[in-house]
Structure 1
Amino acid sequence: MTQPYMGALKQVERLMQDSLGVYSQNSMNQLHDLCVQMSQDTIYDVDYLKLMELYGRKYRKEKNEDALRYVVMRMQQVTLARKNPKSAAKYKGIVFTDKPLDSFTKAFLQEFPLLLHTYEERYKVRILQMATFVFVILLIPLVLLFHLSFLIIWLLLLLLFGIFVYYTFKYGYESIVKDQIQDLIQSVDPTLKKLDQMQMSQ
């Protein structure tokens, strides 16, 4: 049975808010213990996002940019999955609900609105540039080699161009993001890394 963790997470949040300068050891110990418990349980999406928000605030305070980027990317993935049942089904350890996000979690996410979108746009631009370059380079040699009309070769290459771009956009981007997350996760706490392995496996 899924156990709600929001009450305990909010308690840690209050401890963190009461800390001056660095976060108190007590708040960090409680955050660690909650992460351990949640890695061994099926958890609600809102609880996962709250936990990640707290870790994000911790990493921002520590100026651990890679860990912070990992947290934000995972939060954005789960936030998007809340709107897409097909994506939500990939995350076996998370129960998706229609519960509203905590106001502090919303505010934290709004500080990084375009991270995944930026990755996607950069990826698409690179793929289009590469595909266009190959298209142009192959066009004239293929016309000369096969002695076909320029129009026929152009149409065939255009078809291949479209197929390549479609499948690369559809499947390649997810692979790039997955690889990026695997690089960034090396910077996070071992307990959070374990939670990722248990709850975010697809």
Structure 2
Amino acid sequence: MEDKYLNALYRIEEKSKHQLSMMSDKYNLLDELTRSMIYEEIITINDYLKLLEMFAIKYAEEEDRDAYEYTMIKMQMLVEAKRKKYKRTLFKGVDFQNRIDYGVAIFLSERKDYLSKRKEMLMKPFLYVSTSIYIVMLSLLVFVFHIPFLFAFLFSVLIWLFFLVYMVFSLLDEKILEEIEKNRSALDQAMDEFEVSRKNSSVSNLFHKFIKI
């Protein structure tokens, strides 16, 4: 699928470099282009990433931490979904076929890994709770139900591993999206409307697939 908006986004970026007084005009043009992207049912990963990058730069200039982290985490999640196909279900309105744009890749490589940090923050309490449950379960099986220690140990480990795998491969990304959703109110109106359109696009795609079935 063609990167329909990538060149236009680069032109806006390039124009601002040559005209120092164009800061407000640059973002007016960006808002206009963002609103035109709202009506796309499917958008390429590069169009999405470049749009997020330009807003991330804007929020960095404005020192808007919440909005900046939102855009950076979303970018890093998209890149991760590009590498790991099972994560693409989180972005049903995105086409992942194209190789990630070189300029976007450079931008991300020079930035902090906000996604890993957020994962670590969420995993710590989960590990504490799941380990506590494991210990309680093992104790109950051995001392209350008098199940042989080896069987009780193996059963408890299997249950613990099941929840760990579920957390890592399913629940973790959903939790991160829920968390950054709280920061969406910090976004510009155009970007916020675009993000809402992505959700609506995902629902629409699911509906069309259901109708076809």
Partner of residue 13, structure 1: 13
Note closer, same or farther for the CA distance 1:96–1:151 as it changes in structure 2 (3 Å cut).
closer
Q: TM-score, normalised by structure 1?
A: 0.84
Task: Return the letter of the residue paired with 1:123.
Answer: L
Partner of residue 32, structure 1: 31
Does the CA contact (< 8 Å) of 1:44 and 1:96 recur in 2?
Answer: yes
Partner of residue 114, structure 2: 115
Note closer, same or farther for the CA distance 1:94–1:168 as it changes in structure 2 (3 Å cut).
closer
- Separation (CA, whole Å) in 2 of partners of 1:90 and 1:138: 33
Partner of residue 68, structure 1: 68
Gaps of 5+ in 2: 203-213
- Separation (CA, whole Å) in 1 of partners of 2:63 and 2:82: 29
- Separation (CA, whole Å) in 2 of partners of 1:166 and 1:87: 14
Note closer, same or farther for the CA distance 1:88–1:130 as it changes in structure 2 (3 Å cut).
closer
SS in 1 for 2:182: helix
Task: Return the letter of the residue paired with 2:60.
Answer: R
Partner of residue 163, structure 1: 162
Q: Which has the higher helix share?
A: 2
Does the CA contact (< 8 Å) of 1:70 and 1:181 recur in 2?
Answer: yes
Partner of residue 174, structure 1: 173
- Separation (CA, whole Å) in 2 of partners of 1:68 and 1:60: 6
Does residue 197 of the first structure (1) align with residue 199 of the second (2)? no
Task: Return the letter of the residue paired with 2:47.
Answer: D
After superposing the two structures, state which structure 1 stretch, 74-83 or 135-144, moved more: 135-144
Note closer, same or farther for the CA distance 1:59–1:161 as it changes in structure 2 (3 Å cut).
same
- Separation (CA, whole Å) in 2 of partners of 1:111 and 1:170: 27
Gaps of 5+ in 1: none
Q: Cα distance, 1:123 vs. partner?
A: 2.9
Task: Return the letter of the residue paired with 1:51.
Answer: L
Q: Cα distance, 1:163 vs. partner?
A: 1.9
* Alpha-carbon RMSD: 2.6
Partner of residue 79, structure 1: 79
Per-residue Cα deviation, 1:107-143 (whole angstroms, up to 9, x for no partner): 3211335221222233333322221122223433443
SS in 1 for 2:183: helix
Q: TM-score, normalised by structure 2?
A: 0.80
Note closer, same or farther for the CA distance 1:157–1:57 as it changes in structure 2 (3 Å cut).
same
